[in-house]
Amino acid sequence: MFYHDKKLQYKVRVDKPNPAFARMLQQAIGGIEGEIRVCLQYMFQAWGCRGPVKYRDMLLETGTEEMAHIEMLATAVALNLEGASNTLKDQVAANNPLVEGIMGGMDPRHILSSGLAAMAVDSNGVPFNGSWVVGSGNLAADMQANVMAESTGRVLATRLWEATDDAGMKDMLAFLIARDTMHQNQWLAVLEELGGVANNHPIPNSFPQSEENSAFSYSFISTDINRPDSPNTRWTQGTSIDGKGTFTFDHAQPHGQEPKLGPPIPEGHAQKEQMESGGLGGLVDKVKDKLL
Amino acid sequence: MFYHDKKLQYKVRVDKPNPAFARMLQQAIGGIEGEIRVCLQYMFQAWGCRGPVKYRDMLLETGTEEMAHIEMLATAVALNLEGASNTLKDQVAANNPLVEGIMGGMDPRHILSSGLAAMAVDSNGVPFNGSWVVGSGNLAADMQANVMAESTGRVLATRLWEATDDAGMKDMLAFLIARDTMHQNQWLAVLEELGGVANNHPIPNSFPQSEENSAFSYSFISTDINRPDSPNTRWTQGTSIDGKGTFTFDHAQPHGQEPKLGPPIPEGHAQKEQMESGGLGGLVDKVKDKLL
Amino acid sequence: MFYHDKKLQYKVRVDKPNPAFARMLQQAIGGIEGEIRVCLQYMFQAWGCRGPVKYRDMLLETGTEEMAHIEMLATAVALNLEGASNTLKDQVAANNPLVEGIMGGMDPRHILSSGLAAMAVDSNGVPFNGSWVVGSGNLAADMQANVMAESTGRVLATRLWEATDDAGMKDMLAFLIARDTMHQNQWLAVLEELGGVANNHPIPNSFPQSEENSAFSYSFISTDINRPDSPNTRWTQGTSIDGKGTFTFDHAQPHGQEPKLGPPIPEGHAQKEQMESGGLGGLVDKVKDKLL
Amino acid sequence: MFYHDKKLQYKVRVDKPNPAFARMLQQAIGGIEGEIRVCLQYMFQAWGCRGPVKYRDMLLETGTEEMAHIEMLATAVALNLEGASNTLKDQVAANNPLVEGIMGGMDPRHILSSGLAAMAVDSNGVPFNGSWVVGSGNLAADMQANVMAESTGRVLATRLWEATDDAGMKDMLAFLIARDTMHQNQWLAVLEELGGVANNHPIPNSFPQSEENSAFSYSFISTDINRPDSPNTRWTQGTSIDGKGTFTFDHAQPHGQEPKLGPPIPEGHAQKEQMESGGLGGLVDKVKDKLL
Amino acid sequence: MFYHDKKLQYKVRVDKPNPAFARMLQQAIGGIEGEIRVCLQYMFQAWGCRGPVKYRDMLLETGTEEMAHIEMLATAVALNLEGASNTLKDQVAANNPLVEGIMGGMDPRHILSSGLAAMAVDSNGVPFNGSWVVGSGNLAADMQANVMAESTGRVLATRLWEATDDAGMKDMLAFLIARDTMHQNQWLAVLEELGGVANNHPIPNSFPQSEENSAFSYSFISTDINRPDSPNTRWTQGTSIDGKGTFTFDHAQPHGQEPKLGPPIPEGHAQKEQMESGGLGGLVDKVKDKLL
Amino acid sequence: MFYHDKKLQYKVRVDKPNPAFARMLQQAIGGIEGEIRVCLQYMFQAWGCRGPVKYRDMLLETGTEEMAHIEMLATAVALNLEGASNTLKDQVAANNPLVEGIMGGMDPRHILSSGLAAMAVDSNGVPFNGSWVVGSGNLAADMQANVMAESTGRVLATRLWEATDDAGMKDMLAFLIARDTMHQNQWLAVLEELGGVANNHPIPNSFPQSEENSAFSYSFISTDINRPDSPNTRWTQGTSIDGKGTFTFDHAQPHGQEPKLGPPIPEGHAQKEQMESGGLGGLVDKVKDKLL
C-alpha cells in the first residue's frame, strides 16, 4: 500500500511560464517514454513478480518513486501554463498569424479541457495507453524492457533540457536525468546478477535450445536483392554474443511453399467467383446464365 | 426511429472565419466533453433502459436533440474553415514563422483529410472513442454520468465562448450553454425523483450494505506520511452525506499481508533463476555448471 | 511524493483459483470503471487544483489510497491465475469444446503476454486509456466526475461480488465496496460544502447566466414526432432543480437555417462537379466535351 | 435537426435469447463495418458537403435512417442478453469448463459494465473509433467510401444471418440486408450520375493529370523477385479502366538514390558514435581515451 | 517472403527543408489515407485470399510496392526535418509568438521522440491503427475497400502537392499520385473482371436475394419530417444500378414496435426503483418506509 | 525498395486446424510483442538512421525479414481457421455451453470480419497500434528497444510452442524462436560494438554528466515506509554498472516544496469558490447574498 508526502521529491520552479514548453513536458508525463508508463510498468511487474522476492521489493521501491516524478512534471506543466491565456479571447479573435501561433504552440486542451493543468496525454494530446505497460513474467525480458524505458526516457529528458533556458526547469530536468542514470544502472545490475548476457540470452533461458531450429539460430540473413558478400561485421562472423553459437552470413531464400488456402466456406459469403474452382475465364457469361 | 429537418435547431453564423477556432470547436464535437459522446450516451442508455419507461422516453428525447447539436457544431467548423486555405501553398512554402504559425493554429487534417469540414475527432485530432459512452444499467449511476457529462460540457462551452469575439459564434454558444443548463437540471431532476442523495447513495442502492465491510464504509483514510490530526472537515466528521453512517478519520495502515505468489509454471518460460527456490546467491556458478 | 508498505491495504485471499474470474477482475483494474482511472484522476485533479488547498490535500489522500486498490486487485488476478494453465498444451491441442471453453473463459494474454499476472487492460484486453482521466479545473465538475466514477465503480464491484462464491474474493470485494461507499460520500461532501445543487449548478457557476440564451435554459425539448402533450414530470414543470428557473415543455422546432457552405477551394481537389455552380444536369455531356 | 419515434423502424424479436449472439451483434453496432460508423459517416459527409445540394440532402436522409439501425441492433443485443446471467454466480464459481465456456462465449462487460445492454464497442469489446468516419470533401471518394462501408456491412450482416436460427433475428437481419442492398445501389447511383468510372477516375478528377508523372500512371509494377512475364491480365494490358491510358507491365526497379541523411544534431542527443564521421572502427579505444 | 534494395523506388529530394511540411507528410505515412494502411491491407488480403490465385498474386505485388512508398515518405520526412531545430533552445525559450509558431507548425515529437525522423503516426501524432486494415474475405468488398483507399489516398497526395513549392517534393508527389492512378485502375479492373456492378452487387453476391426482405431492397427511404415529394433523382426511380430491382421512394415510417425490455436482474444491481413494477409514483414515501 | 517471393521463408503446415490457436497466434502478429511491431520498428529506425551507414543497412535487412514472419503467421492463422466454422449456425443457435465454448475460444471476428483469415490485431482483437514503433534517433536506445522486443517476442513464441501439439505449428515456431535468438544476438552485437555498457550508458552518452544532478545519479532511493537498512544488493553498493559512479542507498525524502498554484483565470470558468481567496468558511451565506 501507499503513502504520500505533500512536499515534492525535488523542487519545481518555473521562472518564466511557457505554454509551449508545458505541451512539450506532456511527453514526459503521458507519452510512451514518460513517467506514467514506467510507474505502472514497475508496479505491475512487482505485483506479478514470481521468483526471488528481492526483485519484487526493488520494483515496488522504484515504481513508487516514479509516481513522484509524474507529480513533479504535472506541477511543472501547471506552472508553465500560469498566465498563459489571460488574453485568450483577444488572441483567437484577432485571427492573425501571431495569435494563431500562440494557439498552435500550446495544447488547446490545456485551455479547453483541463483549465491550465496537466493531463494524462502526450505532447500531441494522444492519451496514455495501457498497452505500453510491459510485464512479461520473465524477469530478464522485463529488465530489458526497463532499460529500454529508461534509455528512451533519458533521451527525452535531455532533449527537454536542451529545449529550455528556464533555470528552474533545467534544474528539475537535471534531477530527473540523474534518476534515469540510476535507474538504467539499477536494471542493468539485475541483468548482471542474473548472469549477464551469457546466461540470460537467448531470453527466455528456460526454453531448451535443442528445440529451436538451430540451423537458423545464429545466421544473419541478408534480404538484399543484390546479394552482397558478408560485410564481415560483428554480427556476421565470430562467436555469438551469448557465447552459444557462431555467427554466419546467408542470403535469404525461401524454405517454404507457396501457400494454398482452401476455398471459402459458403456461410462466409465470399463472392461466388471465389468459390468456383475453374477460375474466372468465362465469368461474365456464366454469371449471365445464372442470374439474368 | 428517427427523422430530420434540413434546418438547424438554432442558427449558426460565422462573421469572420477562423481556422484556429474551428480546431477548438472540434473539442465540443469529438472530445470526451463533446456532443457525440452525450448523443450516443443518452441513446444507449435509452436503448438499454430497464425499469420505469418514462426514463427511457426522456433519454431518447434528449439523445435526439444532441444529434442536432453535433450538426450545429459541424456546420460551425465548416464555416470557420471557409477561405482558410486559399493561399495554402504560399504559406507552407514560405517556411517562415508567421506561416507555420497559421498551420500550427489549425488542424492540418482540416486541409488534408476533410477538405475544410468537421471530423469525428477532438481539438488535437484524437478520434472519438466509444469507451466514453457510459450506460451502466443502473439508473442513478447513469444520471450521475450524465450530470458529469453536462457539467464538463458546459465548462467547455463557456471556455469556447470566452475564446471568440465572433458575434455569430457567441450567439450559437449562448444557445448551447443554455441547453447544458437545462440538461444538468434534467438529470438532477431524475436523481431528486429517485429519492435524492439519501435514497440513491451509495449507488447501487440495491446492494445490501450489511454485506459490505462496514468498518471501512465511512472512514476517511489519510495516507499522509506525517500522520496529521483530522482536518475536521465535512468529510471527516458528522453524519455521512447519505445519512447512513458517521464519518471518521483514520490513518492508513496495512490490514493485509505481504503478497506471496507461487513460482512460475514451466510452460510460461520465465528465466530459470525465477524457478529455483534457493535464490540467486550462487547463480553464476550454478549456471556455468549447467550451461557451459 | 510517495512511499509504500510491502503489506497490502487489505488482505487478498483466493481459495479456489479461477482464471475466468481473473479476467473479470481486470475490468476493475484497467476498465473505465476501474482503479487506475480513479487513482490517476484524483492525482491529476490534485496536481492541478487551484483554489482552497484543502481540496488538493483531500484528492491527494484518496488518490494515494486508490493505488493500493490497484495493487490488491492485481494480486487477486495473479492468485486467481495460479495453477490455471499447467495443462495448457493438452487443453489447446485437444481441440474439443471443453478445452476451448477454458481458453475462451480466460484472457489468452494472461498466458501469452503476462505470465499469469495482471495487466493494465480491461476484461476484454482493451488497454487502459488516459482519456478517461478527467480533471477539468472546475472543482464542482470534477466532483461530479468523481461521484460518477465511484458510482459506476461500486456497481461494478457489486457485480463482481455476485459473480463469485470464493470467500476470499468476496471478503476483498466487501472491503472495496465499502471504500466506494465512503468515496461517494466524500465527493458529495465537497459538493454540499460548495453550496449544494442550488449554488453549484449550472456548473460552472462563474459564467454569468445573463449571457446564456435564457429562452432555452429551462425548457424540456421533446423531439417526439408525435408531438405528445407534456408528460407532467419533474423535469417539465415546476421550479428547476437549481432554483434559478421554471421548467417548461416544448416541441422541437428549427430556429436555424438550412446550412449553406461555400464551394470547395481548388486546392482541396474535390471533384470538378462539386465546383460547378450550375449543378449536374448535363454533367456527362459536359464531361465528354472536356475530357474525351 | 432531428426527431424520433418511439417505435422501431422494423420489428425486433428474439425467440431464444443467446448471449453469445449478442456479442456477435456488437460487431454490427460498434465495429468498423457497423452502423455507428455509417451513421456518423453519412452525417459528417452531409454536414461538410460542398457542391450540388441534392447530395447533402441525400446523405442526411440516409444518415438519419442509420441511427434507427443502431437502435434496432441495440435492442436486439439487450433482448438476447435477457435471462442470460441469472445463474451467473453459480456458473463462474463452479470453475468447470462448461461454465467458463458460457463466460467465454459472451462479452463479460455485458454483465459487468452495461447491465445486459448494448455498448458502443465491437464483438471483442474494442470501442468504436472516430477515425473510421471518412469524409474527404471529395464527393466521389466519399461515395467509394460509402459503397465500401455498405459492402463490408452487408457481408457482415449475411454472416450474422448464417450464425443464427432464431426466426426473429433472421427476420431483422433480412431487413437490414435489404437496406444494405439499397444503400449500395444508392451510392453507386451517385457515382453513375457523376459520370461513372470514366469521368470520376482517377479520383480526384480535378487534379490535372498532366502534373502527375505519367510514365507511371498506368504501369503495373511487379515486385516479384523471379521477374515473371506479364500475366496478361486485365490490369497489365489494354485500355485502362478510366479510359485515359494503356496498361503496361513492368518489373520493379529503383529510380531513386540510396538515402543519405545528415548527422544528428547535438541537441538531439544521439549516441556520440553517431556523430563521428570516421565510423566506428576504433571506437572502444577512442572512447577510452576520452572517457576513462 | 521479401527482399529489399537499398535504393529508393523513386528519388526523394528536398530543396528547402520544412518541418511543418514534414508534419503534413506524416498523414500519408501513418494516417487512415496513408501508405502503412494500404501496404498492410493488400498484404493481409493476399495472405487470406481464397479463390483464383491470380488475385492473391496481384495483391502481393502491390502490397510490396507500397512498402517502398512508406520508405520514400519516411525519407522525405527526415530530410524536411534536417536543420529544423538547431536553434531549438533559443526558440522555445524566447517565448514569443514567432517562436511558438515554429513549435506549433511542426510535430514536437519529431524533436522529442524520434530525433528528426518519421514515425508511425498521422499529421496530428495519432498512431497508426490496425483497425484500418480491411480484409473481409469477400473479394469484391475488398476491391471496393482498395478503390476507396486509393481514392482518398490520391486526394491526400494532391493536397500535399498543392501545399508545397519545393520542386523535389512536388516531383516525389507527382510519382506517388501517378501510382495512385494506376492502383485505382487496377482494383477497378478486378471489379470489371468479376462482372462489373451488375454481377458484383449487391455484395456479397453469394447471398440469395430471395432471403432478404425484398420490400425494402430498392426503396429510398426519406426521413425528412416535411415528407417531401420524390426528388426524382437517379436513386429514387428507374432500374436499380445493379439491374436487379426498381428504385422507389418512400417516407420513413415505423414497422416495428416500441421496445419492451424485461426488468433488471437482481445480480446486476440496478437501482431498486428500476426493479419495482409499479413505477415511481410514490417512490419517496416507499423509500422512507423501507430505509429510514 | 522491396521485392517479394511467392514462397514463404519457412514452411507453414497445420496438421489439425484449431481456431482457438489461430486466435492465440494473433498475438504474434498484431500484439505489442508481435511481428508487425518489429517489422515497422526496424524499418523506421533504418529510414531515420543517422550515423554509420552499416547500422542503417542492417536494420533494413532484418526489417525486411520480419515482413516474411508476419506472412508466415498470417498463413498459419488462415490454415488453423480452415474447417472451423462449417457448422457455425448450428453451434451458435444451439445455445448450450459446449457451443458457446467454441465461440468463446476463437475470435468471433475471424468469422464475422475477415472470413477465416488473419487480421492486424492481437489475441483479444485489439488493433495494432503505431505507438509501439520505437525509433528514438539514439542508436543505443534503439538497440535496447530491439533487444527488448526480441526478448518479449521470444518469450511469446515459446509460450505458443508450449500451447500446441500440432507438429507443423511446432516446426514453424521452432524456426521463429531460432530467428529471435539470432536477432537478440544481433542487436546485442551492436551494443558491444558501440563499446558495451561502460561506453553506452547512461544512454544517451552524448549528454554531459556534469550537467545532471550528480548527487542523485547513483543512489538507490528506498520509498519503503519502514525505512529498512540497505539490502546490500548489487544495486545499492559497489561500483555502478556503467563504471562511472558508486551505488549508495538512501531513504526517500522530499527535497522540494509543497506546490502552490495560482488562482484560476476568470476565462477558465472554475467555480467561483475557487477564485475567492478567503476560503469557503461562509460560503453558503456569501452565495446567498450574491445570487438569490
Using a 10 angstrom Cβ sphere, with 0-12 exposed, 13-18 middle and 19 or more buried, the burial of residue D83 is: middle
* pLDDT confidence band for A103 (50 / 70 / 90): low
| Measured CA angle at E116 (ends E113, E122), to 5 deg | 70
Arithmetic mean of pLDDT, B172-183: 98
- Side-chain-side CA neighbours of residue E19 (13 Å): 26
Q: Is the pLDDT of residue F102 over 90?
A: no
Arithmetic mean of pLDDT, A183-204: 97
Per-position DSSP letters for F123-157, written without gaps between them: TTSPBPBGGG----S-HHHHHHHHHHHHHHHHHHH
- Is F269 an interface residue toward B (CB < 8 Å)? yes
Q: Do A146 and A121 share a domain, yes or no?
A: yes
Q: Do D147 and D168 share a domain, yes or no?
A: yes
Name subunits touching F (3+ CB pairs < 8 A). A, B, C, D, E
- Is B54 an interface residue toward D (CB < 8 Å)? no
- Is C266 an interface residue toward D (CB < 8 Å)? yes
Domain-embedded: residue A264? no
- Tell me if A57 is assigned to a ligand binding site: yes
Residue E106 vs residue C202, higher pLDDT: C202
CATH value at residue E69: 1.20.1260.10
Residue with cell 489516398: E153
Average pLDDT, chain D: 89
Give the one of E44, E57, E67 whose C-beta lies nearest to F119's C-beta. Answer: E44
Arithmetic mean of pLDDT, A99-125: 84
Predicted local distance difference test score (pLDDT) of residue F94: 46
Q: Do F131 and F183 share a domain, yes or no?
A: yes
Arithmetic mean of pLDDT, A15-32: 94
Q: What is the pTM of this model?
A: 0.93
Measuring CA to CA, how many Å separate F119 from each of B60, C151, E39, F28? 36, 37, 13, 11
Predicted local distance difference test score (pLDDT) of residue F82: 87
Phi/psi region, residue F158 (left: phi>0; alpha: psi -120 to 50; beta: rest), is: alpha
Average pLDDT, chain E: 89
Task: List residues forming the annotated binding site of C.
Answer: 35, 57, 66, 69, 150, 183
Tens of pLDDT, residues D151-193:
999 999 999 999 899 999 999 999 999 999 999 999 999 999 9
Distance from CA of B104 to the nearest CA of E (A): 4
Q: Do A49 and A187 share a domain, yes or no?
A: yes
Write down the H helix ranges in chain D: 19-30, 35-47, 53-81, 88-94, 97-105, 108-112, 139-162, 167-193, 196-200, 272-275, 283-291
Residues linked to residue F139 through DSSP beta bridges, in sequence order: none
Tens of pLDDT, residues A126-137:
999 999 999 999
Distance from CA of B103 to the nearest CA of C (A): 15
Q: Is the pLDDT of residue F254 over 90?
A: yes
* Nearest alpha-carbon partner for B119 in A112, A19, E19, E27: E27
Predicted local distance difference test score (pLDDT) of residue E82: 87
Residues above pLDDT 70, as percent of chain B: 87
Residue E199 CB contacts under 8 Å (≥ 6 apart), including other chains: A283, A284, A287, A291, E205
Q: B58 with B109: CB under 8 angstroms?
A: no
**Residue A173 CA to chain centroid, in angstroms?**
20
Predicted local distance difference test score (pLDDT) of residue D25: 97
Predicted local distance difference test score (pLDDT) of residue F277: 45
Residues linked to residue B222 through DSSP beta bridges, in sequence order: B251
* pLDDT confidence band for D275 (50 / 70 / 90): confident
Domain-embedded: residue F264? no
Predicted local distance difference test score (pLDDT) of residue E247: 97
Domain-embedded: residue F57? yes
Name subunits touching D (3+ CB pairs < 8 A). A, B, C, E, F
Q: Do C235 and C129 share a domain, yes or no?
A: no
Parallel, antiparallel, or unpaired for β D248-251 and B248-251? Answer: unpaired
Interface of D with E in 68-87 (CB under 8 A): 68, 72, 75, 78-79, 82-83, 85-86
Arithmetic mean of pLDDT, F256-266: 91
Compute how many other C-beta atoms are within 10 angstroms of the C-beta atom of residue F292.
9
Highest mean pLDDT among B272-286, E64-78, E260-274: E64-78
- Is B265 an interface residue toward A (CB < 8 Å)? no
> How far, in Å, CA of A10 to CA of A194, rounded?
33
Residue C191 CB contacts under 8 Å (≥ 6 apart), including other chains: C140, C143, C144, C147, C197, C200
Q: Is the pLDDT of residue E91 over 70?
A: no
> How far, in Å, CA of C100 to CA of D100, rounded?
9
| Measured CA angle at F271 (ends F267, F275), to 5 deg | 75
Regions in chain C scoring below 50 on pLDDT? 85-102, 277-288, 290-292
Distance from CA of C276 to the nearest CA of A (A): 30
Parallel, antiparallel, or unpaired for β C2-4 and A2-4? Answer: antiparallel
Could you tell me how many helices (H) and strands (E) chain F has, helices first?
Answer: 11, 3
Q: F240 with A183: CB under 8 angstroms?
A: no
- Is C239 an interface residue toward B (CB < 8 Å)? no
> How far, in Å, CA of A173 to CA of E247, rounded?
68
Measuring CA to CA, how many Å separate F226 from each of A53, C11, E96, E200, F250? 17, 19, 49, 73, 13
Q: Is the pLDDT of residue A94 over 80?
A: no
**Cβ–Cβ gap F268/B225 under 8 Å:** no
C-alpha cell at F38: 518489429
Domain-embedded: residue E232? yes
* Nearest alpha-carbon partner for B79 in B125, B12, B6: B12
**Cβ–Cβ gap D92/C273 under 8 Å:** no
Q: Of B47-61, D71-85, D268-282, F149-163, where does mean pLDDT reach its minimum? A: D268-282
Q: D54 with D141: CB under 8 angstroms?
A: no
Angle between helices D139-162 and D19-30 (to 10 degrees): 170
Q: F43 with F60: CB under 8 angstroms?
A: yes
Give the one of E154, E203, E259 whose C-beta lies nearest to D154's C-beta. Answer: E203
Tens of pLDDT, residues E172-226:
999 999 999 999 999 999 999 999 999 999 999 999 999 999 999 999 999 999 9
Residue F112 CB contacts under 8 Å (≥ 6 apart), including other chains: D24, D27, D31, D123, D156, D159, D160
Arithmetic mean of pLDDT, F18-27: 93
Q: Is the pLDDT of residue F250 over 70?
A: yes
C-alpha cell at A58: 526493488
**Residues shown for chain F:** 292
Q: D187 with D139: CB under 8 angstroms?
A: no
Q: Do B26 and B53 share a domain, yes or no?
A: yes
Q: Do A111 and A226 share a domain, yes or no?
A: no
Q: Do E74 and E182 share a domain, yes or no?
A: yes
**Number of structural domains in chain D:** 2
Residues linked to residue B4 through DSSP beta bridges, in sequence order: D2, E224
Tens of pLDDT, residues D176-235:
999 999 999 999 999 999 999 999 999 999 999 999 999 999 999 999 999 999 999 999
Residue E290 CB contacts under 8 Å (≥ 6 apart), including other chains: none
Predicted local distance difference test score (pLDDT) of residue D58: 97
**Cβ–Cβ gap C274/D98 under 8 Å:** no
Residue C288 CB contacts under 8 Å (≥ 6 apart), including other chains: none
Q: Do E129 and E73 share a domain, yes or no?
A: yes
Predicted local distance difference test score (pLDDT) of residue A110: 94
C-alpha cell at B78: 465548416
Q: Is the pLDDT of residue B177 over 60?
A: yes
Q: Do E42 and E98 share a domain, yes or no?
A: yes
**Cβ–Cβ gap C162/E267 under 8 Å:** yes
**What residue numbers bound the domain in which B223 lies?**
208-254
Which secondary-structure segment (H or E) carries B288? helix B283-291
DSSP B224: B
Q: Do D163 and D221 share a domain, yes or no?
A: no
DSSP B211: G
* Nearest alpha-carbon partner for F218 in A189, B87, D281, D87: A189
Domain-embedded: residue C263? no
Measuring CA to CA, how many Å separate C65 from each of C59, C62, C183, C184, E288? 10, 5, 11, 14, 34
Q: A40 with C120: CB under 8 angstroms?
A: yes
**Which chain F residues are Cβ-neighbours of B225 within 8 angstroms?**
225
Residue B106 vs residue E236, higher pLDDT: E236
Interface of A with F in 92-151 (CB under 8 A): 111, 115-116, 126, 129, 131-132, 134, 136-138, 140-141, 144-145, 147-148, 151
- Tell me if A69 is assigned to a ligand binding site: yes
Phi, psi torsion values for C42, nearest 5 degrees: -70, -35
Predicted local distance difference test score (pLDDT) of residue D104: 53
Domain-embedded: residue D265? no
- SS3 sequence of chain A: CEEECCCCCECCCCCCCCHHHHHHHHHHHHCCCCHHHHHHHHHHHHHCCCCCHHHHHHHHHHHHHHHHHHHHHHHHHHHHHCCCCCCHHHHHHHCCHHHHHHHHHCCHHHHHCCCCCCCCECCCCCECEHHHCCCCCCHHHHHHHHHHHHHHHHHHHHHHHHCCCCHHHHHHHHHHHHHHHHHHHHHHHHHHHCCHHHHHCCCCCCCCHHHCCHHHCCEEEECECCCCCCCCCCCCCCECCCCCCECEEEECCCECCCCCCCCCCHHHCCCHHHHCCCCCCCHHHHHHHHHC
Q: Which one-letter amino acid corresponds to residue C10?
A: Y
**Cβ–Cβ gap E103/A225 under 8 Å:** no
Q: Do A148 and A51 share a domain, yes or no?
A: yes
Domain-embedded: residue F7? no
Arithmetic mean of pLDDT, E134-151: 98
Distance from CA of A88 to the nearest CA of B (A): 6
Predicted local distance difference test score (pLDDT) of residue D83: 60
Tens of pLDDT, residues E35-65:
999 999 999 999 999 999 999 999 999 999 9
Q: Of C189-203, F2-16, F268-282, where does mean pLDDT reach its minimum? A: F268-282
- Tell me if A258 is assigned to a ligand binding site: no
DSSP C4: E
**What ipTM was estimated for this complex?**
0.90
Average pLDDT, chain B: 89
Residues above pLDDT 70, as percent of chain E: 87
| Measured CA angle at D176 (ends D174, D177), to 5 deg | 65
Q: E225 with B4: CB under 8 angstroms?
A: yes
**Residues shown for chain A:** 292
Parallel, antiparallel, or unpaired for β F219-222 and F248-251? Answer: parallel
Domain-embedded: residue B2? no
